[in-house]
Amino acid sequence: MSTSFTLDTSTSRANPTPAPMKRLTVPRIRSRKQDGVTQDPIVMLTAYTARQAQLLDPHCDLLLVGDSLGQVIYGLPSTVPVTMDMMANHAAAVVRGSYHSVVVVDMPFGAYEASPEKAFASAARLLKESGAVAVKLEGGEAMAETVAFLTSRGIPVMGHVGLTPQAVNVLGGYMARGRCDAEADKIVGDARALDEAGAFAIVVEGVVEPIAIAATQAVACPTIGIGASAQCDGQVLVTEDMLGMFERVPRFVKKYHDIASVISDTAETYAKEVRDRSFPSEAQTYQPKT
Ligand code: KIV
Nearest CA among 138, 125, 140, 143 for reference residue 87:
125
Please, which residues have CB within 8 angstroms of residue 212's CB and are 6 or more apart in sequence?
A: 162, 204, 223, 225, 228, 229, 231, 232
| Structural contact between residues 271 and 263, judged by C-beta atoms closer than 8 angstroms | no
Active-site residue (options: 141, 205, 240, 247):
205
Give the chain's residues under pLDDT 50: 2-3
Atom of ligand 1 nearest to the CA of 224: 7
Å from CA of 225 to ligand 1 middle: 10
- Long-range contacts of 6-11, Cβ-Cβ distance < 8 Å, separation of 24 or more: 7/50, 7/51, 7/54, 7/96, 7/97
CB burial of residue 142 (10 Å; 0-12, 13-18, 19+)? exposed
Å from CA of 126 to ligand 1 middle: 17
Q: Is 46 in the pocket of ligand 1 (CB under 6 A)?
A: yes
Q: Say what the pLDDT of residue 290 is.
A: 82
Three-class DSSP category at 226: strand
Q: Say what the pLDDT of residue 183 is.
A: 87
Q: Is 233 in the pocket of ligand 1 (CB under 6 A)?
A: no
Angle between helices 116-130 and 84-96 (to 10 degrees): 40
Q: Say what the pLDDT of residue 3 is.
A: 47
Please, which residues have CB within 8 angstroms of residue 24's CB and are 6 or more apart in sequence?
A: 61, 62, 100, 101, 102
Q: Say what the pLDDT of residue 175 is.
A: 85
Q: Note the pTM of the prediction, 2 decimals.
A: 0.93
Which residue, judged by its Cα, is nearest atom 8 of ligand 1? 66
Alpha-carbon torsion (64, 65, 69, 73), positive or negative: positive
Pocket probe for ligand 1: among 236, 240, 241, 252, the residue whose CB has the most ligand atoms within 8 Å is 236
Nearest CA among 206, 240, 202, 225 for reference residue 71:
240
Q: pLDDT, tens digit, for every residue of 100-136? A: 999 999 999 999 999 999 999 999 999 999 999 999 9
Atom of ligand 1 nearest to the CA of 138: 8
Å from CA of 282 to ligand 1 middle: 45
Å from CA of 66 to ligand 1 middle: 5
Question: What does DSSP assign to residue 157?
Answer: E
Q: Is 63 in the pocket of ligand 1 (CB under 6 A)?
A: no
Å from CA of 202 to ligand 1 middle: 12
Residues counted in the chain? 290
CA distances from 172 to 82, 109, 110, 129, 169 (A): 19, 16, 18, 34, 5
| Structural contact between residues 224 and 179, judged by C-beta atoms closer than 8 angstroms | no
Phi and psi of 282, rounded to 5°?
-50, -45
The answer to whether residue 268 is catalytic is no
Q: Say what the pLDDT of residue 180 is.
A: 84
